[in-house]
Chains A and B, each alone.
Chain A
Amino acid sequence: MNMKKAVHKITITTTEVVVDGKPLDVTCLGSNIFTELYRKYVNDYPKYFKMDILCKLGFIATELLLQTEGKVRFEPCEDRAVVFFNRSSSLHADKSFESNICNRESFYPSPAMFVYTLPNIVTGEIAIRNKYYGETNFIVIEKRDEDVLENIIDGVFTDNMTTSVVTGWLEAESEEEFNAEIYIIEK
């Protein structure tokens, strides 16, 4: 992504976490990384444990980014947008829910699981946590294309309200296949 006005950046892969160029100390691998980071850097939001892996990844990445930003937290604002992109949408949650309903003999659709079969729930979770009342969106594209991301983000700033966006690529296909590259971009 063209970093023209990116003020902070975090990448999370199955093996490492890097915030503004500095790697964080992590001992776990795969999705256990999320809970390790949660325990170390957050640990005050029990709703975290209800989230699916796409939400956990987005939530943790954003938490670390916002902590690095160092501004006052949890004050209601309308001028920060949250816009994520990926290819697989909420595929992992879809599979989990489907396994709940594919067997006639054991047919108990879980409402909590169903909620996460929408990729934009992660933007909702971040907005709830941080009291962000601005624009939120989730875009699904076949292939990661930096031009497409940039075009859409440029568009987000055309309302007369948005001054910053938490945005980037948020992919979590399974417990062992995920990656996040999230930025805070300012106008």
Chain B
Amino acid sequence: MNKRILITGMGVVSAIGNNVAENYDSLRKGESGICKVKYLETEHIEFPVGEVKLSNDEMCLLLNIPYTDKESRTDLLGMLAVSEALQSAGLKDTEHLALISGTTVGGMDRTEKFYPDNLSADILENHDCGSGTDRIADYFGNFDFATTISTACSSALNAIIVGAEMIESGQKDIIVVGGTESLSRFHLNGFKSLMILDQSICRPFDADRAGLNLGEGAGFIVIESEDSAKRRGANVLAELKGTGNACDAYHQTASSENGEGAFLAMSKAIAEADIQVTDIQYVNAHGTGTPNNDACESTALMRVFENKMSKVSSTKMYTGHTTSASGSIEAIYSILSLQHQFVPTNIGWSKADDSCVKPYVVGPFGKIDNVMCNSFGFGGNDSSIIISRYGE
């Protein structure tokens, strides 16, 4: 990269906590937030999910906005996470900010609730992903640029990448980037029709893994140029050292056997970071728990790292697969790994699979300087970033 890009704020809400501290606590304790559905009105109760433990009216109360049942849960989750990110970056009162948010569900959770008989124009107008990001921006009033990335499960990581590209090319100095997604019957049924949901808590990289659990949440980070951070005396959390996006060009939903897209994305990120694979101490894997992803991602990891594999774990058995928000939520977990010098345990893993990496469960590890974070989306959209300790 020509400019150093620093991370100066973060905010997250997920099944394992309503803010960064709570999420960190759950990760440290190895406590999953996946359980029987409570807030989503669905008949498919056989699939455990990673719901945020707040109802919509509770979120409205926290955000100090009136509750009408027309607010999209995706928006509310996003507002909470952006709020924490701005606060942690010391930007609550700063004007002319930019926001890039990744989402696919958008206002779908409202449209499906009121479809078809009670679908009024105002609900329908709030359906699309773009308007959701605008509403999040409008809530704060200090954003003058807002855009949305919608690339399925890699959306949030791609929002981070696009944000970094805009700083690199001199368009912006500071951008709030990330993603938000709420559960919906629409995509719960969709994933069910693809037959990739597990009726137990998911077991990424385990030989008996049987699919993923859906989750919801929002994660946003503040990225800015080193100049901007120095100018305003920002507290730096970490550095965004490398990014990579590549296409698997194989199938709309399945990954190629040799994990080509994943391999290319990870290789790009490593090249951009200008480090060796041995400099990476931890990989927060995409690790959804599906037979296909975990095998293909493992193949790609083994191609990248060869016999110098770092510690690898998935955190999706804590939060569920938060789809469009997964990249930024897990980027925040990667930052926590650096800050607190720990590796999240791949809980629930017990049986090694020959075609998979052996994830980190227990054991010692050395100093963590660089963490890789992966997100792979349908459409073969594969992304990887490297986050590093700053100033070493």
A and B physically associate: yes
Q: Which residue of B lies closest to A110 (CB)?
A: B193
Docked complex Cα distance between A127 and B115 (Å) = 35
CA distance A109 to B190 in the complex (A): 7
Instruction: Please report the C-alpha to C-alpha distance between residue A88 and residue B162 in the assembled complex, in whole angstroms.
Output: 20
Interface string of A110-140 (1 = CB under 8 A from B): 1100110111111111011011111111111
Q: Cβ of B127: which chain A residues have Cβ within 8 Å of it? A: 91, 94
Q: Contact at B149–A118, with CB atoms within 8 Å?
A: no
B303 at the interface (CB under 8 A from A): no
Could you tell me if B151 and A151 are in contact, using CB atoms closer than 8 angstroms?
no
Determine if B250 and A128 form an interchain contact, defined as CB atoms under 8 angstroms apart: yes
Cα distance A102–B186 in the bound complex, in angstroms: 9
Say what secondary structure dominates the interface of chain A: mixed
- B residues touching A (Cβ–Cβ < 8 Å)? 2, 104, 106, 108, 111-112, 115-116, 127-131, 134, 145, 147-152, 158, 162, 165-166, 168-169, 171, 185-187, 189-195, 243-253, 260-261, 264, 268, 271-272, 377-381
Chain A residue nearest to B253 (CB atoms) is A115
Rounded to whole angstroms, the CA-CA distance of A97 and B111 in the bound complex is: 13
A133 to B259, CA, bound (A): 12
Query: Counting CB contacts under 8 A, is A98 at the interface?
Result: yes
Distance of B112 from chain A, by nearest CB (Å):
7
* Interface residues of A, count at CB 8 A: 53
Q: Which residues of A contact B380 (CB under 8 A)?
A: 124, 127-128, 136
Main secondary structure of the interface of B (DSSP, over half): mixed
Interface hub of B148, B249, B253 (most chain A Cβ within 10 A): B249
CB distance from B194 to the nearest CB of A (A): 5
Could you write out 9 A-B pairs with CB less than 8 Å apart? A78-B246, A82-B247, A111-B195, A115-B252, A117-B190, A120-B381, A136-B381, A155-B166, A161-B268
Interface residues of A in 84-104 (CB under 8 A from B): 87-91, 94, 97-98, 101-102
Chain A neighbourhood of B187, CB < 8 A: 114, 117
Task: Assess the B245–A87 pair: CB atoms within 8 A.
Answer: no
**Choice from A118, A128, A134, A159 contacting B378 with Cβ under 8 Å:** A118
- Say whether, besides A78-B264, A94-B108, A156-B165, A140 and B245 are in contact (CB < 8 Å): no
A121 to chain B minimum Cβ distance, whole angstroms, is 5
Chain A residues with CB under 8 Å of B150's CB are 89-90, 118-120, 138-140
Cα distance A148–B378 when bound, in Å? Answer: 25
The distance from the CB of A169 to the nearest CB of chain B, in whole angstroms, is 13
Q: Give A159 to B116 CA distance when docked, in angstroms.
A: 45
In the assembled complex, the CB of A61 is this many whole angstroms from the nearest CB of chain B, namely 17
With a cutoff of 8 Å between Cβ atoms, the chain A residues found around residue B264 in the complex are 78, 133
